[in-house]
Amino acid sequence: MTPIQQMFLGVGASKKTYLDDVFSTTLYKGNDSSNTITTNIDSSSNDSLLWIKNRTSTVQHQLFDTVRGANKVLKSNTSDAQYDGTGTYNQTFTSTGFTLNNSTSNLNSNNNDYSSWTFRKAPGFFDIVTYTGNETNRTIAHDLGCVPGMIIVKKRNEAGAWRVTHRGTDSAVSTLRLNTAGDSGNEPFVSPTSWNSTLPTATHFSIGTHSDVNDIDDTYVAYLFAGGESPAATAKSVDFDGTNDYLTIADHDDFDVGTNWTVECWFKCDAIGSNGWDAIFGQWDNAYVLEYVGTDLRFYYHGNGGGHKSLGAVPTNQWHHVAISKEGSITRIFLNGKQVVADFDMGTTSSSNAFNIGGNVAGGGWFNGKISNIRIVQGTAVYTSTFKPSTEPLTNITNTVLLCCNDTSQTGSTVTPGTITNNGATASINSPFDDPAAFVFGDNEDQGIIKCGSYGGNSSSSNDIYLGWEPQWVMIKRSNDVESWAIIDSMRGIVTGGNDARLQADSDGGEAGSDDRIDLTPTGFKLTSNNAEYNGSGTYVYLAIRRPDGYVGKPVEDATKVFNVIAGTSGDPTFKTGFVTDFITARPAASSSSWWTYSRLTGTNYLALDSDSAEGAGGTTKGLDFMNGFATGGSTSDTAWGWKRYAGFDVVTYGGDGVNGRGIAHSMNAVPEMMIVRRRSSAEDWTVYHTGLTSVNYHLSLNSTGAETDMSGSTEKVWKSVPTSTHFEIGSHDRVNTDGQTYLALLFSSVTGISKVGYYDGSSSTVTVTTGFQPRFLIVKRVNTTSDWRVFDTTRGWGAGNDAYLNIGSNAAQGSYQFGEPTSTGFTMVSDDATTNSNGNKYIYYAHA
């Protein structure tokens, strides 16, 4: 940790910083009067940027910060000078957010909807710098504590364009303009320049003499965002131009494929060659090669009869990690840590040809792009299940026989079995690695929360962008053509398989939400159309901010902040959970009804817990864009059960591919002990995994009373293995993994004092179950034979001697019976009711405080 980081994070006090401390998307409604907005970010004692946009009307973006002054506004969609709104805006920053006291449509017009984004100054995330121009090439000091990934500069005292430099443009002389939809201007031969042809460092950024960034005696503000390049000595790559460039190493036994073997690297393809067969690396004939054949990335192998495996159409202009890992007779291929090819046997191979990198493999074509950190490990299958690729350069682990393309020289290496000969390739400082000095967040102070990157559009309906985590806020700009700066966030709505709410930083237009452009994934985001603003044929840069997951989210101390049982009320929202709600199920308890279920990731589309019907459309009265609940126009006779995502609960959406052993990433930072998966796109049962079932080969159906089902004799598994703290593995069964189908997964784990997943044996007399807290909510299911899924909660009545219960798999109205009661440390089951406490039977449960 640098001295600057220590100063801001509080050395001696061991103060940990979480994402919730430094960034917030907060929605609010204007009232033409005094309006207190709670962001839960202390902006009174910490410098912050507050960005506000009216979602309802055509109104300019409003940017305030504590350094310039609470009422001094800049507008991202204009080149206007700073406006001093003192006496008009009457705005203040507070220890929990900000207050408004005006009626301006920019900020607080009655019944208008607004979005506010708060960026708090913190090492590894964001910094604000002000300076006065002098019209001389110079460097400006900053306190970001790491290399910036994006810098935005705006002249304050008079008009001037918002100048942007971004890591994704791969150039120290490229500039974008935040207030226009124009493409990046390249300034190598233009005088004056904006950035003085110099990349930023962890302590300074450089400016030229352009009037937009450095006119004499003019005043400026710079907003700096982390996510810049790693300065590590081995965070390098080799650049191949697609025309006769390659590296070669003479044949050696270390390149042979034995019983256990791994080869991996990062690659970034700039363009697909016209001749095909663009080799990334390989030793051919009689061995193996990884290469593009058209847009299809393939791994060819010669052993065990030979053949090839397709990794699919892997997008260009972004970094990808690939690994081929052989464990005995099982070979697995991973792309960005996800297994993308079903297990197969590539056999053993030996070749007398050279090992080539970047082309000239068996007379094939040439790779156009960059390759970093190629590593071959003999005698070890390094990867045997889904994993998270390293965020730092690879190291010389046991049995490493090659580690190269990681040096300032094209032919440099950490380990090599022979001389590396260069044939026209060039060394590059561009790499897939971010500055590790920004990885300072979370309990272990080792996580990053921001990513600045680039990708190539493919004019298709599928383009996956890998970040390593799920974002909550993304800004995207096409850098080589005229397109707007699109801003999307999960609070306003990024809907998997639905329309997304979008604002544009360079436009005063209101919110648009009639198009499906993007989905969130557990490891990034996916472009879902060929819309030119997001995914045309050009190149794009982005700024993404992580959601507060189990790694970087603030630990939960109050269970009511992440789970509640509430009755419907009048006003917006109908179900006031008291927190940002990520998943909710609602129904009237006293009458017959389905369990109508919604998630933030899937928007207003609904499923019913008691039904196997496909997903339906909920309509405009259903919405999760509230800071404290769900839905407008709901019934006050309904009861709802709502969750926020945290270390004890996660929601994951994914698309099926039919690959047995497919690993699905999650971000709980805890092992899921109960999982509920549902196919969305067509009819299917809700499939349940629980740690209390006989083994991983068993499952239950949430919408059925049936006993656990054994799949051990089936070739099409439901669960492939016991889940881990980073992912869960599924088989190829239709319930969880049909190619082309979409799925929703709910994950639950035990968190001390908050939630508990467990099981107990019935006894036909009082059973005492310890959870470590007094539960407000409980689900119980007998697993060895037919039985209902019983649901109890203290809101409807549990523990008064006549317990109100519902059955998840049924639309029947609630009944009542004396089952037991919650205690200060768990619950008791006192009756001889077969559904909760019968001698010789096993029961699973989920409880929440």
pLDDT at 437 over 80: yes
Please state the φ and ψ torsions of residue 87, each to the nearest 5 degrees.
Answer: 90, -15
Share of residues in the chain with pLDDT > 70 (%): 97
Structure confidence by residue, pLDDT tens digits, 669-697:
999 999 999 999 999 999 999 999 999 99
Peptide bond into 573 cis (omega under 30): yes
pLDDT at 223 over 60: yes
pLDDT of residue 185: 64
pLDDT of residue 186: 52
Cβ neighbours of residue 172 closer than 8 Å, sequence gap 6 or more: 165, 195, 197, 198, 199
Note the helical H segments in 2-122.
3-9, 19-22
Q: CA–CA separation, 747 vs 669, rounded Å?
A: 12
Q: Is 77 exposed, middle or buried (0-12, 13-18, 19+ CB in 10 A)?
A: buried
Share of residues in the chain with pLDDT > 90 (%): 86
**Stretch 287-308: mean pLDDT:** 93
Q: CA–CA separation, 128 vs 118, rounded Å?
A: 13
Distance between alpha carbon 321 and the CA centroid of its chain, in Å?
A: 17
Tokens of 220: 């400026």
Peptide bond into 200 cis (omega under 30): no
Render 666-720 in DSSP notation, one character per residue.
Answer: ---SS--SEEEEEESSS--PPEEEETTSSSTTEEEETTS-PPPEE-TT-SS-SB-
DSSP H or E run through 533: helix 532-535
Stretch among 65-79, 158-172, 190-204, 223-237 having the lowest mean pLDDT:
190-204
pLDDT of residue 614: 95
pLDDT of residue 770: 98
pLDDT at 523 over 50: yes
831 or 160, which is more confident: 160
DSSP H or E run through 375: strand 368-378
pLDDT of residue 634: 65
Tokens of 424: 């026209």
DSSP H or E run through 70: strand 69-74
CA distances from 801 to 798, 820, 821 (A): 8, 7, 8
DSSP H or E run through 323: strand 320-327
Q: Which of 147, 126, 154 is nearest to 225 (CA)?
A: 126
CA distances from 418 to 246, 283, 411, 413, 415 (A): 16, 14, 11, 10, 9
pTM value? 0.95
Q: Which of 243, 267, 239, 264 is nearest to 408 (CA)?
A: 239
Q: Which of 455, 406, 456, 423 is nearest to 243 (CA)?
A: 423
pLDDT of residue 777: 98
Stretch among 222-226, 314-318, 403-407, 432-436 having the lowest mean pLDDT:
314-318
Q: CA–CA separation, 453 vs 227, rounded Å?
A: 8
CB half-sphere exposure, 486, CA atoms < 13 A: 27
Q: CA–CA separation, 789 vs 754, rounded Å?
A: 21
- DSSP three-state, residue 22: helix
**Stretch 724-737: mean pLDDT:** 95
Tokens of 381: 């299958």
DSSP H or E run through 127: strand 126-132
Q: CA–CA separation, 554 vs 629, rounded Å?
A: 20
Residue 560 is classified by DSSP as G
**Stretch 659-667: mean pLDDT:** 91
Distance between alpha carbon 116 and the CA centroid of its chain, in Å?
A: 21
pLDDT of residue 304: 87
Q: CA–CA separation, 563 vs 1, rounded Å?
A: 36
**Across the chain, what does the average pLDDT equal?**
94
pLDDT of residue 188: 42
DSSP H or E run through 249: strand 246-249
Q: Which domains does the chain have, with CATH numbers?
A: 18-120 (no CATH), 126-225 (no CATH), 237-428 (2.60.120.200), 449-546 (no CATH), 559-643 (no CATH), 649-748 (no CATH), 755-848 (no CATH)
Q: CA–CA separation, 830 vs 823, rounded Å?
A: 13
Q: CA–CA separation, 716 vs 156, rounded Å?
A: 63
Q: Could you tell me the sign of the dihedral formed by the alpha carbons of 601, 606, 610, 612, in that order? A: negative
Tokens of 677: 């998966």
Residue 602 is classified by DSSP as G
Tokens of 563: 């789970």
User: Which strands make up the sheet holding 246-249, listed edge to edge?
Assistant: 307-313, 296-301, 288-293, 278-283, 355-357, 246-249, 420-423
Q: Which of 115, 88, 93 is nearest to 103 (CA)?
A: 88
Structure confidence by residue, pLDDT tens digits, 455-494:
999 988 789 999 999 999 999 999 989 999 999 999 999 9
pLDDT at 253 over 70: yes
pLDDT at 5 over 60: no
pLDDT of residue 14: 56
pLDDT of residue 511: 95
Q: Is 444 exposed, middle or buried (0-12, 13-18, 19+ CB in 10 A)?
A: exposed
**Stretch 427-450: mean pLDDT:** 97
CA distances from 449 to 47, 554, 640, 673 (A): 18, 13, 32, 26
pLDDT of residue 766: 94
pLDDT of residue 814: 97
pLDDT of residue 632: 73
Structure confidence by residue, pLDDT tens digits, 94-131:
999 999 999 999 999 999 999 999 999 999 999 999 99
Q: CA–CA separation, 660 vs 675, rounded Å?
A: 18
- Buried residues in 753-762 as b, exposed as e (16+ CB within 10 A): ebbbbbbbeb
pLDDT class for 345, splitting at 50, 70, 90? Answer: very high
pLDDT at 163 over 60: yes
Q: Could you tell me the sign of the dihedral formed by the alpha carbons of 377, 382, 384, 388, in that order? A: negative
pLDDT at 289 over 90: yes
**Stretch 772-787: mean pLDDT:** 98
Q: Is 274 exposed, middle or buried (0-12, 13-18, 19+ CB in 10 A)?
A: exposed
pLDDT at 168 over 60: yes
**Stretch 367-376: mean pLDDT:** 97
Q: End-to-end distance of the chain based on CA atoms, in angstroms? A: 37
pLDDT class for 170, splitting at 50, 70, 90? Answer: low
12 or 582, which is more confident: 582
pLDDT of residue 599: 97
pLDDT of residue 779: 98
Q: Which of 284, 236, 230 is nearest to 404 (CA)?
A: 236
Please state the φ and ψ torsions of residue 540, each to the nearest 5 degrees.
Answer: -135, 145
pLDDT class for 280, splitting at 50, 70, 90? Answer: very high
173 or 746, which is more confident: 746
pLDDT at 191 over 70: no
pLDDT of residue 3: 40
Q: Which of 177, 231, 165, 232 is nearest to 201 (CA)?
A: 231
